[in-house]
Amino acid sequence: MTRRYWETQTNIVVPWHSPLFSSSISSLSFLLFHRYSSEIIMTVNIGSESGSTNWVFIGGGNMAAALIKGCEKKNFVEKHNIAVSVQTGKSAEKWRKQGYDNVFTNTLEMLETYPTAIYIICVKPQVFDEVVSSWPVNSRPKFIISVMAGVPLKTLSEKLPFVSGNTTIVRLMPNVASSIGFSASTMCYEKNDKIENQEVFVECARKFAECVGTVELIPERCFNPAMAIGGSSPAWTFMYIESLADGAVAQGLGRAEAKRLAAQAVVGAAQMLLDSESGFNIESQHFGLLKDKVCSPGGTTIEGVRTLEKNGFRSAVLEAVVATSKKADDMAKSLSK
Ligand SMILES: NC(=O)C1=CN([C@@H]2O[C@H](COP(=O)(O)OP(=O)(O)OC[C@H]3O[C@@H](n4cnc5c(N)ncnc54)[C@H](OP(=O)(O)O)[C@@H]3O)[C@@H](O)[C@H]2O)C=CC1
Ligand SMILES: O=C(O)[C@@H]1CCC=N1
């Protein structure tokens, strides 16, 4: 049987049937241990023995598709490692046509079929209660990842009736660019010393997220503002790029050129902030330094800056982040009722 290794720098490989492993989760195939000086950092290999289905997605819409596509691109999982449940036959057919065999329109049936797995909740928050009622009564999940906006860890553990003190729940907020490995994700979890090897599960979630982009581990109290930027802002950035293109089209540039130019200009600007080769240090320097470099005195760009300021550009963006974050706060409150 072919074994696929996510990491190859192994010092110790613990087979999945070892006591240490089985105390964690039986559907992961083995753990890898990396030694850094005297510390041992555990990394989880989810590469799976061929054939095992251990990534179980509840909900197979935009976000699940982006995550799965991104993970497949990195050879983190293969189609047979994935199970997915959807609501409609039409969606199920779409998944099957793409080569996925383990597709369900009945979440209960899927969860009964895969009693030990990594469960990723990818439904709309409004559907969460329905998912809760689809969870088999005898289920004892050890590891759940939720990508739902506005559903706090407390609500997740209270509503999922079979979650015990032994279950690690990770909230992950990826974005749509997961499909091409460019998500800006955040994650949080509640540390529980009573859960044996909890760090293994957290590391597993981190590896999963790293497969589809970057990930920051943050406290849950910061999750909603981070969600507004990491999860939602791609939508606004698409609007911004569209508006850039519209402006140029209004002035006579062809639509196709305008769209390509606008998208590339945004990529380049973002890359300058992130890549220290630009001479910019994102930790310590102000973004205005770069903005000022573009604005020649008495030039063209400063006229654009003036117009944007007059029309409340910064305030509009800032308020959008605040409104989005507050919406998630409100959703959390109404779900906990
Ligand atoms: N879209 C995004 O960019 C991001 C979304 N998220 C989060 O991801 C979650 C999903 O969002 P998104 O993928 O956009 O939503 P979609 O509407 O695209 O997908 C929702 C999926 O859930 C399925 N579904 C509905 N009811 C059930 C049920 N009872 N059991 C199983 N599956 C069900 C739907 O089935 P069917 O296809 O048959 O209708 C659909 O496949 C949300 O909680 C959102 O907050 C997080 C970060 C970014
Ligand atoms: O709009 C939403 O609710 C989800 C969460 C982040 C992005 N999309």
Domains recognised in the chain with CATH numbers = 12-218 (3.40.50.720), 225-332 (1.10.3730.10)
**What is the per-residue pLDDT for 5?**
29
> How many angstroms does the Cα of residue 17 sit away from the middle of ligand 2?
39
Pocket test for ligand 2, best of 172, 232, 326 (most atoms within 8 A of CB): 232
Query: How large is the ipTM?
Result: 0.99
Exposure on the CB side of residue 335, measured as CA atoms within 13 A = 27
Highest mean pLDDT among 101-115, 127-141, 192-206: 101-115
Residue 6 has pLDDT above 50, yes or no: no
Count of positions (residues) in the chain: 337
Average pLDDT over residues 107-134: 95
Rounded-to-integer distance, Cα 54 and Cα 115, Å: 10
8 A C-beta contact, residue 139 and residue 111: yes
User: Comparing C-alpha atoms, which of 9, 41, 42 is closest to residue 28?
Assistant: 42
| Ligand nearest to the backbone CA of 174 | 1
* Model confidence pLDDT, tens digit, residues 242-287: 999 999 999 999 999 999 999 999 999 999 999 999 999 999 999 9
Q: Whose CA is nearest to atom 44 of ligand 1?
A: 148
**What is the per-residue pLDDT for 331?**
96
Reported confidence tier of residue 51, pLDDT bands at 50, 70, 90: low
Q: Could you tell me if the CB of 84 is within 6 A of ligand 1?
A: no
**What is the per-residue pLDDT for 85?**
98
Backbone phi and psi for residue 165, each to the nearest 5 degrees, phi listed first: -65, -5
> How many angstroms does the Cα of residue 198 sit away from the middle of ligand 2?
28
* Model confidence pLDDT, tens digit, residues 57-101: 999 999 999 999 999 999 999 999 999 999 999 999 999 999 999
Average pLDDT over residues 97-111: 97
Pocket test for ligand 1, best of 87, 135, 186 (most atoms within 8 A of CB): 87
> How many angstroms does the Cα of residue 64 sit away from the middle of ligand 1?
7
**Do strands 118-121 and 103-104 pair parallel, antiparallel, or not at all (unpaired)?**
unpaired
The amino acid present at 317, given as its one-letter code, is V
Q: Whose CA is nearest to atom 19 of ligand 1?
A: 61
Between 38 and 59, whose confidence is greater? Answer: 59
* Model confidence pLDDT, tens digit, residues 156-183: 999 987 766 789 999 999 999 999 999 9
Rounded-to-integer distance, Cα 45 and Cα 11, Å: 13
8 A C-beta contact, residue 184 and residue 230: yes
Between 46 and 87, whose confidence is greater? Answer: 87
Q: Which residues line ligand 2 (CB under 6 A)?
A: 149, 227, 231-232
Between 20 and 297, whose confidence is greater? Answer: 297
8 A C-beta contact, residue 217 and residue 248: no
**What is the per-residue pLDDT for 26?**
36
**What is the per-residue pLDDT for 8?**
27
Q: Whose CA is nearest to atom 8 of ligand 2?
A: 232
**What is the per-residue pLDDT for 139?**
86
Rounded-to-integer distance, Cα 329 and Cα 110, Å: 31
| Ligand nearest to the backbone CA of 61 | 1
Q: Could you tell me if the CB of 213 is within 6 A of ligand 1?
A: no
Residue 50 has pLDDT above 60, yes or no: no
Closest atom of ligand 2 to 173 CA is 6
- Residues of the chain with pLDDT > 90, as a percent, come to 76
Average pLDDT over residues 97-110: 97
**What is the per-residue pLDDT for 165?**
75
> How many angstroms does the Cα of residue 31 sit away from the middle of ligand 2?
33
Residue 19 has pLDDT above 60, yes or no: no
Residue 331: other Cβ atoms inside 10 A: 19
Backbone phi and psi for residue 40, each to the nearest 5 degrees, phi listed first: -110, 120
Reported confidence tier of residue 138, pLDDT bands at 50, 70, 90: confident
**What is the per-residue pLDDT for 11?**
30
| Ligand nearest to the backbone CA of 229 | 2
User: Comparing C-alpha atoms, which of 313, 53, 21 is closest to residue 142?
Assistant: 21
Hey, is 56 helix, strand or coil?
Answer: strand
